[in-house]
Amino acid sequence: MNIIIHRGSHQIGGCVTEINTENTRIFIDLGSELPDESGNIPEETLSIDGVTTGTMRCDGIFFTHYHGDHVGMLSQTMPDIPLFMGEAAKDIYLALQKRISPDLIPAIEKINTFAAGVKMELGDLSITPYWVDHSAFDAYMFLIESKGKRILHTGDFRAHGFRGKSLLPVLNKYIGQVDILLTEGTMLSRDDSYSISEHDLQQQARDLLKKYKYVFVICASTNIDRIASFHEATPRGKYFLCDSYQKDIIEIARKHGEKHTSLYAFKKALVYGKGLEEKAERLGFCMMVRANKKFCEIMQRYKEHHNSDCFVIYSMWGGYLNQPNNMLKAMMEGFENTVTLHTSGHATHKAIRDVCNAVCPTQAIIPIHSSNPAGLEHLGLSHPIRYLKDREVFTL
């Protein structure tokens, strides 16, 4: 088997990984680059023969999850290439793109879905997806096998989310030792000493929701676990509110997730509108908001008339607030009470180390999705590490 990191060997986002044999060629993720510090999205320059240009030569593209830096180049793929994604992830991605990029709908509707733990065969490759905890709902790692060789691609993962406790048991029971570990390393370039668990975040949210009558939460619409945290933290007698689009996303998560845990039941979630305005003002609420005109108007009205009773919680990556022309910072300005309450969707240093030690790669750990891959050297690992350059071929 050959491994080629087309993009992502020394950067966060824009992930594209190829795994091939003499007979079969697959890709894991086909992501677009993340915005720069000013919020500008770089012009796409990546071209892959047989996938985005030339004559089709690809047996399948497997998406770990629906974030743009992993699926953003979908529109540039040749239309006959088979695409694969988790069932819930596909539904959420479809709902999202219906709002922002309707032209993508036909391509998304054609995506094949897979189930956790169910092996798929493409040519002489076997691909088995396993659930991982991430800030995207229904995210996966992939075990790729051929002729006795085994590669584990972690995708984006973490161990400090609600489902993170299953990470090591899954590795130990179903995967075991591999030859190559391709691991995300987002946090290798960051200080993770202040990372908190999703459970601890929920507890802090619960305390704030008891103290303040009107709580606005700025949060990504598809960060289901974060939304669930605030939903569960909303005390009896207060409303949990969102708009109709957010409710659609919540309903998808409920459809796929409620059978596994009551965390995704979302029984209190209601769409804010004229029928609820008076009651919500009287009883109080937790409202999930995003950067759009409607939410800005609602928040402005409460800022003018109930400022001391309001609390604004920013629950996203802090870098967005520093980007020019970003509405998020303006949404918070003028409120007396604000706080950042967030935890990463990515693996801490300890989680990366634990995964490496669980699968004990015999040939190499290859870091991806990191601007500081050399940070692996500070984790005290006893396994060989190999740093690839973009488009370099590694053969095992």
Mean pLDDT within 296-312: 97
For residue 23, what pLDDT band results from cuts at 50, 70 and 90?
very high
> Which of 266-275, 293-302, 324-333 comes out lowest in average pLDDT?
324-333
Distance (Å, whole) CA 369 – CA 274: 45
The two structure tokens encoding residue 61: 């593209």
Q: Which fold has domain 2-191+345-395?
A: Metallo-beta-lactamase; Chain A (3.60.15)
Collapsing DSSP to helix, strand or coil, 144 comes out as: strand
Task: Please give the pLDDT value at position 38.
Answer: 72
The residues, ordered by sequence, that sit 6+ positions from 363 with a Cβ below 8 Å of its Cβ are 179, 180, 384, 386, 396
Q: How many residues are recorded in the chain?
A: 396
Query: Which of 390, 386, 388 is closest to 377 using CA atoms?
Result: 386
Task: Please give the pLDDT value at position 319.
Answer: 87
Mean pLDDT within 136-160: 98
Distance (Å, whole) CA 214 – CA 286: 6
Distance (Å, whole) CA 289 – CA 267: 19
Domain 198-340 CATH class label: alpha beta
What is the 3-state secondary structure of 22-52?
CCCEEEEEECCCCCCCCCCCCCCCCCCECCC
Query: Which of 2, 17, 138 is closest to 70 using CA atoms?
Result: 17
Strand 239-242: give its sheet, edge to edge. 269-271, 239-242, 285-289, 214-218, 310-314, 338-340
pLDDT higher than 80, residue 273: yes
Task: Please give the pLDDT value at position 350.
Answer: 97
Distance (Å, whole) CA 6 – CA 20: 13
- Cα torsion for 96, 99, 104, 106, to the nearest 10°? 90
Query: Which of 88, 86, 79, 34 is closest to 63 using CA atoms?
Result: 86
> Which of 55-59, 259-263, 278-282 comes out lowest in average pLDDT?
259-263
Burial of residue 246, with CB atoms counted within 10 A of its CB: 0-12 exposed, 13-18 middle, 19 or more buried: buried
What digits encode the pLDDT tens for the residues 322-345?
888 788 999 999 999 999 999 999
Task: Please give the pLDDT value at position 62.
Answer: 98
pLDDT higher than 80, residue 279: yes
Segments making up each domain of the chain, as ranges: 2-191+345-395, 198-340
Task: Please give the pLDDT value at position 334.
Answer: 97
pLDDT higher than 90, residue 193: no
Task: Please give the pLDDT value at position 160.
Answer: 97
Query: Which of 52, 26, 7 is closest to 128 using CA atoms?
Result: 26
Mean pLDDT for the chain?
96
pLDDT higher than 80, residue 48: yes
What digits encode the pLDDT tens for the residues 212-259?
999 999 999 999 999 999 999 999 999 999 999 999 999 999 999 999
For residue 35, what pLDDT band results from cuts at 50, 70 and 90?
confident
Mean pLDDT within 97-123: 96
The two structure tokens encoding residue 292: 């759009």
Task: Please give the pLDDT value at position 37.
Answer: 72
What digits encode the pLDDT tens for the residues 350-380?
999 999 999 999 999 999 999 999 999 999 9
Helix (H) or strand (E) holding 250: helix 244-257
pLDDT higher than 80, residue 36: no
pLDDT higher than 90, residue 42: no
